[in-house]
Structure formats: C-alpha cells, structure tokens
Amino acid sequence: MALTSPRRAGRRTNVGLLALLLLSGGTGVLAFAVGSPGPARLVVAVHGAAGLGLLLLVPWKAVVVRRAWRRPAGTRGAGGVSLGVATLLTLLTGVLHAAGVTGPWSWSAGVPVLHVHVAAGVATGALVVVHAWGRRQRPRTTDLGRRGLLRAGALGAGAMALWGSGEGLLRLTGAPGAERRATGSFERGTDDPVAMPVTQWISDTVPDSPAAVLVLTAPGRRVRVPVADLDRGDVVRAVLDCTGGWYAVQDWRGVRLDRLLTEHLGRELPVDGSVDVVSGTGFRRRLPLVEAGRLLLATHAAGRPLTPGHGAPVRLVAPGRRGFWWVKWVARVEVVDAPWWLQSPFPLQ
C-alpha cells in the first residue's frame, strides 16, 4: 500500500491510512460487544495493531502533507489538521489506557481515559468523512494486485510486530497494563462489590423506587413474583466486564432464570424463543431462551445484598457477555417468539 520510498508517497499512502482507520474503528466497536476471552483477545489485538500501524505511515503521510501545503489555500481540502489532531489524541489515549499508567478510571474531572479515547475515536471517524468527501483517492482494482497485496501484508506484519513489542514491553516493565483482561479492562472490585465502580449505559439512571414485584410473561400467561422471593441460593461465579474499562469477578446469588421460568410459566415454552429482560427504567436486552440455564437473576454479590447502583434489588447476570447485557433493576422478564438477534447491537437508551 505504501511501504516504498517516502518520496513516492501519495494515493496508496492515503488508502493505507483509510484502511487502518476503518479497521481500528470497526474493531473498536466490535470490542465493546465481545465478552469471551478468546475472541476478545483477537479483536483487541487487531484493534491495537491497526491503531499503532498508523505510526508506520507517518513518514509517507508527512510528504503528502508538505505537498498539500504548497498548493493554493482553496485547493487543500478540509479538516486535515483537525483529523490529524483527533487521530493523535485517539492513539495517545488508547496507548495510555492499554498501559494503565494514568489509572484506568481516573482522568481530570473523573473521566476515564477510555471514555476520552472513545470520544476522540468517534470524532476521528466523523472527520475522516469530512476530509475524504469529494476526493478521488479511492481503492482501485490494481490495489489487489500482487504488489499491492505484498505492501498490505508488510504493513499488517509491521503493525502486529509493533503491537506485540508494546505488549512485551508492558510485561517486561511490570506496567499495570500487563494485567488487563483480554477485553482491555482492568480489575476493580473482585470479591468486593463495594469497590466496583457504579456505571450506567449512556442515559440510564438509578431509579428512585425499584420494583418490588417481578413480572413474568409468556404468550397467554402472566405471573407476579415478589422480588423478596428471588433469593433461592443459586450461585454463579462470573465476570462483570464493563465497557467502561473495568471488570470484577463475584459470586452472584439469586435464582437461575430457567428454574424461575419453569416454576411459574410451565414447561411448554418455545425452545427456539427468546427472553426479554426489562429494567424498571425501560432498558432492555433480549437473549436466547436456550441460554436461560446460564443466566441468573441476582439479589446478592459476594454474600452481600446488591446496592442500588449495582442493580438492587435484582439484576441479570449474563456470563460471557459485556456489562450492558447485565440488566439492572429488573422489573419484567418476557418470553417472546422473536429471535434474540432482532434488536439493536447496543442499547439505544
């Protein structure tokens, strides 16, 4: 794509930068959705390598920029400087979060570095659209030729080597980032729920008066169960991995969802159905009914009753899924025929 003499920098350099920006942005979004360690490790590695790979193209891009500044002011395009600043800020905050050198949940005014990284990434994506609008430097069929593929392979190998070197350096120096989870999250509050950060998804807020009764519904059936009856002694040890950049492992106690549904709604439930778990705030997530045996409606964590900030009186525990699936302040559980994937990938609330 661009690994030739910097003097020959041009369209291939811009195409390479665009490809890395799109790859880093796409994997960044995907990293929020993947909770299983294996897939998450792969996604985060590609995300980090794509971001660091931008550094490899700096010498070539510097030549392109110098050429652009020699042209008349009205022909230089829009947003180039802003895009460069936003990209640099995104890369810098990503490295700081990965290294953990500033603390994974501390920034000026209490804003986590990861949040700044995400905001800068969103701004970078918008500026890429502005900067590329109307330009003619688009991918061509020749980019898929032997020479183009060799350049792309060299760029990819270099990016992965740079990412691997960074990870090795973290481990060698014993930096906090060496201890982060496969998703990139840092441990905070394992076996100590009080130490877990209190976070909500976007505009969701702690309700003033959580529901005291849980409503269970299925086609033609509706049952009300007192929340006080949900502590049945079922225990699941699971990782709550928040997209805010932290995780905690707890022994969650309550009642398994399949046990509760069978007891109150009977055994004639659709085997290929789904279950909507709805918060008292309106926040909801739909999961496959076949997973009900792995899901828990928790009333306690580490032997202590849940606090309001962590979903009291009852929250969903969904092992292997990121934190936004762990619905807090559960008020309704609805068995439905709709497929579980027929919903927004991320909550809109």
Interval 109-136 mean pLDDT: 81
Question: Tens digit of pLDDT for each residue in 153-181?
Answer: 898 999 999 999 999 999 999 988 999 99
CB 218 within 8 A of CB 263: no
Give the residue extent of every domain in the chain.
6-184, 193-336
* pLDDT for the residue numbered 108: 44
Fold classified for 193-336: Sulfite Oxidase; Chain A, domain 2 (3.90.420)
CB 275 within 8 A of CB 286: yes
Is the pLDDT confidence value at 134 over 70? no
Is the pLDDT confidence value at 10 over 80? no
* pLDDT for the residue numbered 69: 63
The CA angle 66-69-70, to the nearest 5 degrees, is 95
pTM: 0.86
* pLDDT for the residue numbered 59: 83
Between these two residues, 14 and 31, which has the higher pLDDT value? 31
* pLDDT for the residue numbered 57: 87
Interval 23-34 mean pLDDT: 93
The full 3-state SS of the chain, as one line of letters, equals: CCCCCHHHCCHHHHHHHHHHHHHHHHHHHHHHHCCCHHHHHHHHHHHHHHHHHHHHCHHHHHHHHHHHHHCCHHHCCCCHHHHHHHHHHHHHHHHHHHHCCCCCCCCHHHCCHHHHHHHHHHHHHHHHHHHHCCCCCCCCHHHHCHHHHHHHHHHHHHHHHHHHHHHHHHHHHCCHHHHCCCCCCEECCCCCHHHCCCCCCCCCCCCCCCCCEEEEEECCEEEEEEHHHCCCCEEEEEEEEECCCEEEEEEEEEEEHHHHHHHHHCCCCCCCCEEEEEECCCCEEEEEHHHHHHCEEEEEECCEECCHHHCCCCEEECCCCCHHHCCCCEEEEEEECCCCCCCCCCCCC
Binned at pLDDT 50, 70 and 90, residue 129 comes out as confident
Residue 241: CB atoms within 10 A of its CB come to 26
Q: Residue 98 corresponds to which tokens in the numbers above?
A: 């990965």
Is the pLDDT confidence value at 107 over 50? no
**The one-letter amino acid at 102:** T
Question: Tens digit of pLDDT for each residue in 229-253?
Answer: 999 999 999 999 999 889 999 999 9
Residue found by looking up tokens 């302040």 in the block: 329
Sign for the pseudo-dihedral over CA of 281, 284, 290, 296: negative
